[in-house]
Every structure is written in structure tokens, then in C-alpha cells.
Amino acid sequence: MMFVLSSVSFMNLGTDFVLKPIFLHGISSLIHILLIIAILVSSVWRKFTVVNESKEKPNNTLFKVTKFSSFGFSSFNFVLFLLNYFYWYTSGWSEEKVVTLFDLALKTVAWCVVCVCFYKGFLFFFSSGQRKRRFPFFFRAWCVFFLFVSCYCFVVDIVVLYENHIELTVQCLVSDVGSFCVGLFFCYVGYCVKNESEESDSTFQEPLLNGDTHIGNGNVNPLELKETKGSDTVTPFSTAGILSLLTFTWVGPLIAFGYKKNLDLEDVPQLDSGDSVVGAFPIFREKLEADCGAVNRVTTLKLVKSLIISGWKEILFTAFLALLNTFASYVGPYLIDSFVQYLDGKRLYENQGYVLVSAFFFAKLVECLTQRHWFFRLQQLGLRTRALLVTMIYSKALTLSGQSRQCHTSGEIINFMTVDAERVGSFSWYMHDLWLVALQVTLALLILYKNLGLASIAAFVATIIVMLANVPLGSLQEKFQNKLMESKDTRMKTTSEILRNMRILKLQGWEMKFLSKITALRDAEQGWLKKFLYTNAVTTFVFWGAPTFVSVVTFGTCMLIGIPLESGKILSALATFRILQEPIYNLPDVISMIAQTKVSLDRIASFLRLDDLQSDVVEKLPPGSSDTAIEVVDGNFSWELSLPSPTLQNINLKVSHGMKVAVCGTVGSGKSTLLSCVLGEVPKISGVLKVCGTKAYVAQSPWIQSGKIEDNILFGENMVRERYEKVLEACSLKKDLEILSFGDQTVIGERGINLSGGQKQRIQIARALYQDADIYLFDDPFSAVDAHTGSHLFKECLLGVLSSKTVVYVTHQVEFLPTADLILVMKDGKVTQSGKYADLLNIGTDFMELVGAHREALSTLESLDGGKACNEISTSEQEVKEANKDEQNGKADDKGEPQGQLVQEEEREKGKVGFSVYWKYITTAYGGSLVPFILFAQILFQALQIGSNYWMAWATPISAEVEPPVEGTTLIEVYVGFAIGSSLCILVRALLLVTVGYKTATILFNKMHLCIFRAPMSFFDSTPSGRILNRASTDQSAVDTDIPYQIGSFAFSIIQLLGIIAVMSQVAWQVFIVFIPVIAVSIWYQRYYLPSARELSRLGGVCKAPIIQHFAETISGTSTIRSFDQQSRFHETNMKLTDGYSRPKFNIAAAMEWLCFRLDMLSSITFAFSLIFLISIPPGIINPGLAGLAVTYGLNLNMIQAWVIWNLCNLENKIISVERILQYTTIPSEPPLVLEEENRPDSSWPAYGEVDIQNLQVRYAPHLPLVLRGLTCTFNGGLKTGIVGRTGSGKSTLIQTLFRLVEPTAGEVIIDRINISTIGLHDLRSRLSIIPQDPTMFEGTVRSNLDPLEEYTDEQIWEALDKCQLGDEVRKKEGKLDSSVSENGENWSMGQRQLVCLGRVLLKKSKILVLDEATASVDTATDNLIQQTLRQHFTDSTVITIAHRITSVLDSDMVLLLDQGLIEEYDSPTTLLEDKSSSFAKLVAEYTMRSNSNF
């Protein structure tokens, strides 16, 4: 018995001694002595053993910070030592004081030594060998021990000394807090930072110092340390260890790298094979096809099933994390009541407080970890889903049949990819929310039942009511969202059509009319947007008011049924309601997201179900297996199977290998359709079609990809230099490439915008020749080039390079017919005659029509030329002269020209998003006057919320024994008052926010579109339309619906955070001791993270445009791609581009979680500290109810803190959309459309139509060479002038200058004594008329195509149609003038479109008419008809013709011959023809020779 007693008393004595300051300072001194000895031993050891030690110092920001920290801590201890020494010197000494001083002195010395070691780079602090940037094991272990001791001292200071009411010196407390912070920091650097440095060594190997770098003993070749690009490595995520994955340390190197320099795409590592669409797509497609049989039998359900199967691992893993997270989040509310009772003095067992704190802290850690990984994995899954769907849509677009293509315009198909696939990807965030709501509500009710008994049923009912209120709102939102999407589709479709044809709109002066069309479409869209946003505002009101409503109902029920309200239980209930708020608040989002996703999935599935090309149209025979190349037996084909008469009827055709087949006929007779049949593009009704061998196709309107000229010609084949040169020679491209600054490396703008029509066509022919196919199909490619080039191409390509190949060519030029082995004459979809040239001349009536027209034209030529055919001129002599002329024209001049590509990389802002962007956004609507009201409403809401909770905590007793301070009815009345006030604040805030956001979106939209439509043509030439469309769709969407909420969220979360800090510090101001350093570290982290996040986000924006552009190009060129069998290559390019977009997105998600994880840890530490503080205070000092309130708010601290930072970063990422839109509101504009009255020409101007050009010099951009190099000439009024010259000689540029699409660099153009640069653009363009090179029609009606400005009556329109021979064609159609025209006028043939352009000119009746290769795509008969019409109706007008058919300029009064931007000859055709040495005479001779010869 005595033994037990003595051992107990000894234990007490031991416990007392362990808690004494003398013991604590003794331990501290001991560990510092240990450190000093270790450093000394280590330095002596190294002196004797290490001979050649590297003097390299670690060059890492954090290690620099450790150097300063150790020096600072040493100085801090020295100051304390001096203060204590003088203080105690006067008041006397004791054993304890001596030990304390000794401890301070040792700390000063030890940390000073540590600082010196850091400064000298002494290797004791870094592991040897390769891993130079980490503390050794001993020092890290010492830091942990030091942290443990400091922590222990700190807790003892507060707990023991407060409880025993012993006076504690401030110096001790300050010293212990300092030690704790330093210990924490060094542990962090020792254990967390090392990995980042190691990994950054492996991912971004940069020499650490600029001097000689020694590693180990040997010197290293500096080349070996060359920085490896991030894009060469796979993301560290795929190889990271468990700790690195848990803490997201694997993304650290990228963030560190982005902190040092602006990230570019090549710095971002590649995706893991599982996330890359290249790896994932084949498996996904296989599963989908196995499930549905074929892709075009897919249903929404099966598509969803396949998507789920493709990501089932992530779905299950995230479900598990979500479950854990939900349980962990309810631990806090469950324990609050026990915590309040503990503070009130009801202790159930010893150390209960520490157990409670540990439980709170551990639950918080689990909650943080699971939430971070749950969110990250869902985003990863979302990215993969989006990529799979984009790839699926793309591969479908490659196989669509012609009829299915009619169902959806390219704009709509692009929307499936940019909007719908994106939305399905975003849905991954909301995937688990539905079942989580059920779980969270159940857990909440259990906790409420434990605290409030039966009143929990009332809470349940109230929750259900709130959720039901959501159903009508959800369905309304879905309806509005649907309508919004439809109207957006229509607007985007029109926008993309307008951007494609901007040149025509500018030439005709129609751009403002079409802008008003877009504005009208946007107005319709805004109607739905407004409804959608205001419904959203009401939803916000319902759900922010939800927790208050539920708590009022619950507490009211408690009063009614007599359940006593105690502050602990009330606080537990309030904390539960607050957690419930999240699922209830998210429920409408989830429901509307499910609705939106379903709409998107339905749209995608219905697109995937469209009919593909019939695979059985063409029977493909293996090459060499048959003598016949193409055989058609009784073929009937129709673009639209529903029509009674097929497009092509009774086609019988047999083409042997090596035959040349010419197809001719009038406009709209089915020539192009015949070629499409051979390609397998036209659905077959009946008959047999066999093709033996590979095909190459040249379309009528050239399809060129943006990219280098070389890539366009190679088209996926390998470069064989000899073959390549031969092809360039045959297509006479050598000359053109010499003129271009970068030769065949010149980057072509979108749709070949910086090439002339002839150059595009010749590149297209070169592409076909290079493929070395068996069968060549040419759809009238010679029409877009001049006579000389045309005959050269025919001779070199068809009769030279392709002499042994099968060629089927459509042509309007009769002179190319005699060489054909077989001629097919087509009329109304039938082959009316076939045979050789000579045979057809004897029989054919249809054929005679075509040839007769041609002969008529030739006879004009003969009469002018005096009947002499100049066959004498040898071509070689001509080439020599041309070569000499090049030298004279001064190729040397070019060297001084500024050079550069036309299409520049997309500009992306670098660095921080300027404050000006935020300011412009906030002040756009109403000058920002509503913003203070929004903030005030939110602050008031927060104050009323805190007030109501404070009231409940203060006005309810701690336990049943205590008398309540106020009556029960008063308690509830005041609470209800607070509730109503806060709900009203939310309503006001939501409505004001929506109003401001809506107004801002409208203003920005109008500003941007006005700037785009007023931009000069050079802007459209050098800007791929993908960039503009991206801003008009994705960025505008963000401004419409996301950014107002994002800015609001950020402001509101800050207000909430300040509210929580206020409540916590009101209870225990000491929280600030930890709070201030934690906030400082949080801000530092956020600053460290932002540069990388921002650049990654911008990269995401920049990487999206190429996907859209590639997709748009693919859609417009599907027939060409399919004819060359290049689908798989295009498919791969699309997958690469998609991965390029996913890479920055994946790393943004990881970086976000990297930051949130660290912030969560910091806020958990703050929370734990405040809890420890609360349990350390002796009972009775603080009101337990208010302390409980602080804990209730503290539970949310990490959520709110992460929310603030998340909102800030998200806002930074989203605001980039505003930045990108603002970029396009500052595009330099064209000169004004209309000037003041005094500068406006008379309404009769131009009366004579005289055009005087003086020393005209033109270049397309400041960095490009001159195209026109000083022209001077006069086109007399009322005369016809023909402009001829080789392709690329500056003919089209001259016309563009006349219309001021390009402003002259020098010189001037004067029309009827008015310098055209001094009047408004509309005044100029509306007085001139043009029939452009590419005949363009817009989607709409025949009427809107002829008269978009609605200036003419129906009679005038019919008259114009009759004059241009389209009247009968239009009368046949059901809708007459209102019959529909599809996108790009695709339901009209090329020739008919050209005639519509003629109709526009006839309506306008201008004094000056320009024909830009206007008759290039029609047959000779139609050409003659057009010429005749023009002669008849424009007798007294000045007509300027750019022509390739010599016959069309022969009846001109004057001929201007251009060569390389200079005037070579300018005279009447007769004069020029008389001089046999003139270039014009040679061109005519060439043409006559071509027409008369058989080549």
C-alpha cells in the first residue's frame, strides 16, 4: 500500500517537474548543444576525408528564405537574451532564470551557426551526390524533434499556467511562439520542398550557376545540361509516388517553372496514355460499336453507357471519396454539443478536451484530402469525356453523306463540338451530387434527431418543400437554356457565313446591313438569356434562403411541442443546416446541369445517327484487277432521294485505263455531280458503278488548308524532292514561289486567303499530281487561271505528267476537247451525246451549241488579228525573255522590303490580367453605379446571418437547469425578423447582379461586333475565322452567364470570410497569433501559383481555336479528303489538337488542387489552434455558447478560405474571356463609311466614270513586300478596259485598291476628279459594281440574295433575273423569289451563282463596273450570254474586266497588261496585236494555237 502511495506521489512529482519551465528550457538547451556538436564533428570529418568538395550553393528561393529565417531567429533570441538579462539583473536571479538565459544563448549560437552553414553552402545541410537541394536525414529529424519540443512548451505555457493561475512572463510565451513557427517552417522545407526541387531538376534541367558546373568530380559538357522541354516528357502524374499524389507535389515543378517564366505550350508535359484521346478513343469506339452495332444506330442511352464504361474506375473511386468526405464533414456538427458542454464544465473523463480537438482535426484532414482528390479526378474524367466526344463528332463529320450535311450547317456542327461536348465534360463535376444529396439529408436528420428529437421531422418536411420549390424552376431553366442554345446556333451559323464572305460584303458595301442581321439574331438570343438569368436569380434567392427557412421551421416546432432549446443543440443544428445548404443550394444547379447535359447528349446522339455515305455506291476493285478504270451501267443517282426525278439519269459509261475523258455541257447540267458519283459522294438509286485504282480529285472551288504551301502539296505524303520539283514545274508554281517571301514555306491564310484564285487552283492541282493516283478527276480547274497558264497546265499536267493515267475532266473551254479520247455532252442530268471530237461535230446539236459559241468568239479574234496565226514564236525564246525581264524588274529591290508571314500567331496577353480589365468590366454597365448596392446587400445579408446565429447562441441557455434570458416567443420572433431581412437582401443582390451582368454582356457584344465589322479587310486576311468565332461563341458565353456570378462569388466569399474571422476573433482574439501568419502564407502561395495558372488558362484559350479551325476546314473539304483517302490522317491531327487543348486544362486542374490542398492544411491548423486555445481557458472566463458559435463558424473556415482563393483563381481564368473580347474592341477600324455633308459626292457621281491612277503603290501589310509597284494610267469614262497578266501579277490587287479594301501605300486613284481616299467608303463602294471572282450566295431567299438592302421592287428583281437568264429557273421553283438558298448557295450550281452575281449588278446599274474573272466558272455559251447582256445594258458605263479568256477582252477598247505589279503594256487590242513582239500578241497567239491545235 505504502509502495503504491509513494509511486503515485512520485508520479505526481514527476508530472509536476515535467511541466516546470526549468525542465522545458533544459530539454531545449540539450537539443541545441546536440546540433552544434553534430555540425562541428561533421565539418572536422569532411576536412580530413573529402578532398574535392563542390562549392556550389543551392539556388532555390525557399533555401534563401531558410538562410534569412535562421539569421532572424538567432537575432530574435539574442534580443530576448539581452532583455531578460537586464530585467533579471535588477530583480534577482533564480535557478530557473539561469537555465532560461543559458537556453536563449545556446539558441542564438546554434541558429547563427546554421545561418553560416547555409551561407557557405556547407554540405552538411544538403545530401551529397545528385540530390543537392535537400536537408540530410539527421537535420530533418532534428527539426521534427525541435518542433515537437517547441509545441510542447507552448501548450504547457497556456494550459498548465492558466489553469493553475500562475503568472506567466510574456518573454517565455513570445519565445515559445517564435520557436514553434520556426520549427514548423523548417519541417516544411525539409520534408515538402525537397521533392519539388528534385523533380524540377529532372523535368527542367537548367545549370544551377552560370559558371562552370561541376557535378561530383568530373566536368560536365554544358550541352548535356540543355533544358529538356516539358512537352517531351509525359506528365509526372503517371509515375508519381503515393505521397506525391496525395499532396499534388507532382505538379510542383510546372508551377515553379511558371513562376520563373511565362509558360508556353512546349513547357506543358504530355498527357498520360490513359487520359490522351489517342489512347482512349479506339477502345471507346470499339465498345460503342459493339454495343450499338454501328455508330449511326447509337441512342443517347447507349452513348451514356459507353461513356460510363470508359471511366468506371474514376467514377467508383470518386464515389468512395465523396462518401468519405460526406461522413467527415458531419463529424463537426455532431460533436459541437459535446464541445459546448465540455466548455461549460461537464467533463466526462480526463483529457476529453484533447480527444474532442483530435476528432475535429482528424475529420477536417480527411475532409480536405478526400475533397481535393474527388474534385481532381472528376475534372480528369470530364476532360477525357470531352475529348472522346469531340473526336467522335469529328470522325462522324468525315463520313457524313451529302444529304445529312444539308441537315446541319458547319456552324451547327462546330457548336456540337465547342458547346455540347464541353457541357457533357463539365457534367462530371455534378456526377455524384444526386445520391449525395440523399445521403447528406439523411445524416443531417440523424444529427438533428439526436439533438432536437421529433422537431427533426419538421426540418425534413421543410427541406423537402424547398427541394420541391425547385422543380418548376428547374424545368423553366431547362426550357430557357434550350431556346438559348438554339438561338445561339442560328447566330453562330450566320456569323460564320458572314466571316467567310466578308470580302464580298465589303465590296458591295453591305457589311452594316449584315451586322444588323446579327444584332437582330442576338436580340432574340438575349430575350432567352434574360429569362434564363432572372429565373436563375429567383433560384439563388430560394436556395440562400433555404437554411434560414428550415431553421425557422425547426426551432418554431421545438417551441410548439415544448422541446427545450439549449445553445449547444442549437449550434449543432445551425452547423448542420449550414452543411445542408450546400446540397440544397447545388440541387437546382445539378438538376439544370442534368437537363442541359441531356439536351447536349441528345443533340450529339442525333448527329451521330445521321446517315453516312452509302458504302455500296462504288464497287472498288483492287488496282490492276481490271482493264476498265471506271464503269457505270444504267446508273441513276440523286442528291435527294425524296425527289421524283433523279439528279443523274441512265448514265452508261466505260473508261479504260489511260483514257482522257472530257465532260462538257451548259450550266447546271450535272457535270460536277457526275464526278461526285465516281467519288461515291452521291446516293445511288439503281445501277452499277465500278472503280479500279486510287483516285485524286481537284474541286471546282479550290479547297486549301491554312498552313504551309509545301504541306498543302504533300498532303500527308513523304517529301520526294525530285517528284516535288517536277510537280511544281508542271503546275508552273516555281515563278509564284519565287515572288512569295518564304517560298513554299509561306503560311497560307484561312481558305488560301493570301493567294490569288489561280494560285489556289494550281496548288490544288499540284496536290493531286503529287499523290500519284491511278484515276484523276478534274472539275474545271483551268477556268480560274489565265490563258497562258491554262494551256501550260493542260499540256504539262494532263498530257505530260498524267499521260499514262486515267483522267476525267469537266471543262467549259472547247479548246481542251479535241485531245480527249471520249467526250461526254451533258444536259439536264443525262449524257445526251458521247464520242470523239470529230464524230460529235458531225452529229451533235447540243455539242454544236457549245462549239458554235466558241467559234464565234474565235472569229472575232481572227478578224482582229488579220487572220495570221503567230505559231512562229517558240516558247523557249519567250521564257528566256521573261527571265531577263525579271532581272530588269529588279528582283534586287525585294531585299530591302520588310518581310513576314501574313498569318501571325494568335496574340495572347502575357503576365497578370491588368486591373483595367476588371475595372472596364465592372464599369461597363451604368458606369458601375449598381456595384456598391450589390456589395451593400451582401454585407447586410452576412451581418443579419451572423446576428441571427449570435442571437440564438446568446438567448438560449447552456443547459436545461439554467434560466433562459428571454421568452420563447421573443426568441423566435427576433429570429424570424432576422431571417426575413437576410432573405430580402439576397433577393435584391441576385436581381441587381443579373441586371448588371446582362447589360454588360450586351454592351461588350455590340462593341466587339461593331469593331469586327468595321475592321479593314487585312484583319480578316490575317485572322483565321476560328479566332473570331471563338470569341463570339465561347468567350461571349462566359460573359453572358459565368463572369457576373464569378465576380459576385469572389466578392461574397471575401465578405463571408471576414464575417467568420470577426466571429472567431470576437470570442478569442488570440486566434490572430496564428491567423496572421497563416493568411500571409496563403497569400504567398496564391501569388506563387497564379502566374502558372493564368498562363495555362490562356494557353487553353489559344489551343481551342486551332481545333475549331481544323474542324471547319475539314467540314468544307470532306469530299477532297475522302477522295484522297486521307480520313485517318485528318483524324489523327484532330486527336493531336484535342490533346493539345487537354494538356493545359489537365494541369490547371492539378495546380488548382495543389493550391487548395495547401490552403486547406493551413486553415485546418488555424482551426485546431483556436480549439486548443478554447479548451485551455479555465471554465467561466468565456461564454460557452459564444465559444461554440466560433467553432460552428470555424468548421467552415477551410471551405470559405478555399472558396475565396478558388473564386479568385477561377475569376482570373474566366476574366481572360473579357480580356480577349476587349482585344477585339480595339481593332483599328477602316476609314469612315460616310463623311460629313461637304465631303460627300453628288448623288449623280460618278457621271462619266473616268478612273485616273497615279503612281499607285500597294502592299498588304507593313511587313509584306509591295504588290503594285507604281502604276500610272487612265481608264477613260464609258470605255471597256481589259486587264490581263499572269496569275499573281497584281490584277485583283488593283481592283481591291479601287474599292479601297486595301489602302494605297503611295499614289492615288481619282474617279471623276474626286480622290477616292477623301470620301466615305460606303459612298465609294455603293457607286461601283463588281461581279467577284468567287460567286457567293448567302443562306436565305433568292430575293435577299439579289437585294439584301431591300431597295428594289419585285418587278425590278424579276426584270434583272430575266436579263441574266435565271427568270425561268426561279419561276420553276415553288417559292419563286422566296425559294430558299442553302448555306453558301450549295443548292445552286457554280454557274447559276455567277448569274445571280450578274443579276445584282443589273439591279444596281452603276457607272463603273468591275468584272473580276467573272466568267471563270461558266461554259462558253453562258459566257457569251453574260458578255452580250453586259454590252446591252452597260453601253455607257466604264467596264473594267480581269479576264483569263482572251476572247472576253478582245472586244475591249483598251487592254492593260500587268506583270509583277508593273504596267508592261497599255493600248487598244488592235494596236497591240499589230506589234507581233508585244506580250499581248504572244498571249493571243498562244490562245489561238491552243484552240486550233490538238495539243
3-class secondary-structure state, position 1455: strand
pLDDT top residue among 1030 and 319: 319
Which regions of 693-773 does DSSP assign to beta strands (E)?
A: 695-698, 707-708, 747-748
List, for residues 929-980, the tens digit of each pLDDT value. 888 999 999 899 889 988 888 887 777 777 666 677 777 678 788 888 888 8
1385: left (phi over 0), alpha (psi -120 to 50) or beta: left
Do 783 and 1444 contact (CB within 8 A), yes or no? yes
Q: Give strand pairing partners of 808.
A: 661, 777
Distance (Å, whole) CA 1448 – CA 1481: 15
What is the distance, to the nearest Å, from the Cα of residue 240 to the centroid of all Cα atoms in its chain?
29
How far is Cα 569 from Cα 957, in angstroms, rounded to an integer?
A: 10
Which of the pair, 634 or 1170, is modelled with greater confidence? 634
pLDDT in tens, 1343-1383: 888 888 778 888 888 888 887 777 777 777 776 777 777 77
- In this structure, of 465-474, 542-551, 862-871, 975-984, the range with the lowest mean pLDDT score is 862-871
List the grid coordinates of 1008.
466587339
pLDDT higher than 60, residue 900 = no
**Total-model pTM:** 0.67
Amino acid 1166: pLDDT: 78
Q: What is the DSSP string of 882-895?
A: HHHHHHHT-GGGGG
Quote the CA–CA distance of 448 and 92 in Å, as a whole number. Answer: 60
Instruction: Write the pLDDT tens digit of every residue in 1309-1327.
Output: 888 888 888 888 888 888 8
pLDDT, residue 90, reads 63
Please, which pLDDT band fits residue 857 given cuts at 50, 70 and 90?
low
Compute, in degrees rounded to 10, the torsion defined by CA atoms 870, 874, 875, 876.
-160
As a whole number, mean pLDDT of residues 1169-1177 equals: 78
Angle between helix axes 331-343 and 433-452 (nearest 10 degrees) is 20
At 1326-1336, the pLDDT tens digits run: 888 888 777 78
- Residue pointed to by grid coordinates 447582256: 1429
**1232-1263 confidence digits (pLDDT tens):** 888 877 778 877 788 888 888 888 888 877 87
**Integer angstrom CA distances of residue 276 from 231, 269, 386, 427:** 14, 12, 11, 19
User: Average per-residue pLDDT in the chain?
Assistant: 78
More confidently predicted of 866 and 135: 135
> How far apart, in whole angstroms, are the C-alpha atoms of residue 887 and residue 1027?
41
Tell me the C-alpha distance between 494 and 853, whole Å: 40
Q: What is the DSSP string of 404-473?
A: HHHHS-HHHHHHIIIIIHHHHHHHGGGTTHHHHHHHHHHHHHHHHHHHHTTHHHHHHHHHHHHHHHHHHH
Q: What is the pLDDT of residues 114-139, one digit of tens each?
A: 888 777 766 554 444 434 456 777 77
Residue 646 has pLDDT above 60, yes or no: yes
Looking at residue 940, its pLDDT comes to 92
Q: Residue 255: what residue type?
A: I
Task: Return the ∠ at Cα 659 (arms to 656 and 665), rounded to 5°.
Answer: 110
Residue 260: count of CB within 10 angstroms of its CB:
13
The C-alpha angle 99, 103, 109, rounded to 5 degrees, equals 145
pLDDT tens-digit map of 1047-1087: 888 888 888 888 888 887 777 666 667 777 877 888 888 88
- DSSP H or E run through 563: none
CA distance 493 to 487: 10
* Segment holding 960, helix H or strand E: none
Q: Which residue has the higher pLDDT, 796 or 93?
A: 796
Q: Residue 518 in contact with residue 1009, Cβ under 8 Å?
A: yes
Whole-number pLDDT of residue 1355: 81
CA dist., res. 205 & res. 225, Å (int): 6
